[in-house]
Structures are given as structure tokens and as C-alpha cells.
Amino acid sequence: MSEKGLILVVEDERPIAELVRMYLQRDGYGVEIESDGLAGLAAARKLKPAACVLDIALPNMEGTEICRRLRAEDIWTPIIFLTARDDEVDRIVGLELGADDYLTKPFSPRELVARVRAVLRRSSGTPEPDRARKVGPVRIDPATRSVTVNDEQVHLTSTEFDLLMHLMNRPGRVYTRDELLSAVWGYAAHGGTRTVDVHVAQVRGKLGDAASVIRTVRGVGYTADA
């Protein structure tokens, strides 16, 4: 058994896959590699890895489709896209499908490992000292990493959960996009502040009628507001 959990890497360029394997294993992770999209989807379902690193341009099924299918099946394994595509539209589409992060080639293997650590930390369920809190009809519990709207469960990715949690920690406090990037992502995310906007839109969509709990402060950022 690996020390830190299994990472599924779906990458059809073998040298890149082996480089990723080497750095992840050096950091204490177990690694399973698949080079085909269909095989990657099957492995994600069967192995239930701690996280997935998905290339987008894969044989038989693109990484975005793997992500879409997993999320449609309520499988919320953290996903990092690793791809040669550096277009903002591609990044936004990946995040809208439910990915947690996005790294473009060429990349630093050390940065990839750092991002894997970050998404696992966000999804680890490590309880915060604070109790569950409620803003309007939205209740969030850091101990169980659960969100409900009028007692109905809402499924968020680890990044979406941490974003909502950060806003609800101090209702009425306005956070700039840069502050949210630093607090939630822990670094300047590749997509820039647009990454924050996309994730806010995703959270609002999942909150449904309670979407107004997250209020946009024009020219500044966002706040949680009953």
C-alpha cells in the first residue's frame, strides 16, 4: 500500500506519464497509469483513486468526457487536467465540468505534485475547529464536508466546497478574487481570477434557489450574504 494513496494518471505520452509517476512515487503516492480514455474511465470507477490526473487529448475518449461521466455518476474524486491546450476556453470548460485544477504542458513535475497535494488537502475532510454554520437556507459542515440547502444534500467538488466554506466563515465580509485565489487555491491559479468566477458560477448553479447567498460586489469580489 502506498503511504499517501493512489493517483490515477491517464496520459498517452509515455515519457510524460513515467516522469509524473516518478515524482508522485517519490512523494509517497501510489500511481496507476492508463494511456487510453476508456481504460482510464474504467480504472477511475474500479480503483477509486485518491485523485486523477487526466490528459485532455486521449485516444478513444477525451479527459473532459471522463470527468463529465464521473461527475454525472456522483463520483467526486479530485481531478487535475494535464494538457497541452493553453486556451482560456478549454480551461473554463474543464472547470465547468467539475475539475479541481488545470495544468498546461510543458509543466514542472514539482508543481504538479504540489497541486496534487493541494487538491487532496482540500478533499481530505480534515475538520476545522469551527462548528457547522448556516447562511440563509445553506448549511455547511466542515467536519463532514457536507452542504445542504433546506436540508437537501448538495454535491460540491473539494475546491467548490472550500470556496463556499471560506465565504461562509465570515458572512458579509467581502473577499477580492485575489484573496480567494490565495486562500482557497493556495497559489495564483493558472486560469487567473477567471478561475474564481467560474467556480463561483458552478457553486451558485448547484445551490439552485439559494444561489443568492453568494453575492457579487461589483469591482471588488464576492461575499456570503443571507
* Domain that includes residue 115, residue range: 6-123
One domain for residues 138 and 118: no
Average pLDDT value for residue range 176-181: 87
Interhelix angle 37-47/63-72, nearest 10 degrees = 30
- Residue 128 pLDDT greater than 70, yes or no: no
CATH number (domain holding residue 196): 1.10.10.10
Would you state the pLDDT for residue 85?
65
One domain for residues 105 and 141: no
Would you state the pLDDT for residue 127?
45
Average pLDDT value for residue range 102-120: 88
One domain for residues 115 and 190: no
- Residue 130 pLDDT greater than 90, yes or no: no
| Residue 81 CB coordination number (10 Å) | 27
Q: What is the pTM of this model?
A: 0.67
Average pLDDT value for residue range 198-213: 94
Cα–chain center distance at 53: 11
* Residue 128 placed within a domain: no
Would you state the pLDDT for residue 158?
87
* Residue 207 placed within a domain: yes
Domain edge (last residue) among 123, 147, 165: 123
- Residue 206 pLDDT greater than 70, yes or no: yes
One domain for residues 155 and 78: no
Helix and strand numbers (H, E) in the chain are 8, 12
Percent of the chain exceeding pLDDT 90 equals: 56
